[in-house]
């Protein structure tokens, strides 16, 4: 009886885990996560986090649009980087540049590189 319960529990756990991995986040959820990570890492104050949520939401909407050309998506990543640079203090920017993986995630250049590599 214990074995049957254990097997059913494992089966349920794997099913829930598989469904969680299949679920895709929408642009708003992904933007909030990115802004929260950035805020925690850099110690953003006031409305900066809300401003970055809107910027990242625009980024995700653009990058996830299948009708846009790759050049437009690359340009969006560049624009996001420029807006981040304009919004942060030099100390915050220096700290962010010290973490290139986070910078690539926030700007969307990491996503674009992965998409570009898949096409090759």
pLDDT (tens digit per residue) in 101-114: 999 999 988 654 44
pLDDT (tens digit per residue) in 14-55: 666 555 544 467 888 999 999 999 999 999 888 999 999 999
Is residue 110 within 8 A of residue 104, CB to CB? The reply is yes
Using CA atoms, how far apart are residues 30 and 28, in angstroms rounded to an integer? 6
Is residue 73 within 8 A of residue 62, CB to CB? The reply is yes
pLDDT (tens digit per residue) in 48-80: 999 999 999 999 998 888 898 999 999 999 999
Total-model pTM? 0.69
- Other Cβ atoms less than 10 A from the Cβ of 51: the count is 14
Q: List alpha helices for 1-120, DSSP H.
A: 2-22, 27-42, 48-63, 70-87, 90-97, 100-107, 109-119
- Other Cβ atoms less than 10 A from the Cβ of 73: the count is 19
Write out the two tokens for 4: 């049957």
């Amino acid at each position: 009886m214990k074995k049957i319960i254990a097997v059913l529990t494992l089966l349920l756990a794997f099913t829930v885990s598989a469904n969680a991995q299949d679920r895709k986040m929408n642009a708003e959820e992904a933007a909030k996560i990115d802004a929260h990570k950035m805020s925690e890492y850099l110690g953003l104050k006031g409305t900066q986090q809300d401003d970055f949520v809107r910027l990242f939401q625009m980024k995700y909407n653009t990058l996830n649009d299948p009708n846009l050309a790759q050049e437009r998506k690359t340009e969006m990543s560049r624009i996001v980087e420029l807006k981040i640079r304009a919004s942060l203090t030099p100390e915050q920017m220096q700290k962010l540049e010290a973490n290139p993986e986070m910078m690539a995630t926030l700007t969307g250049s990491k996503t674009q590189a992965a998409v570009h590599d898949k096409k090759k």
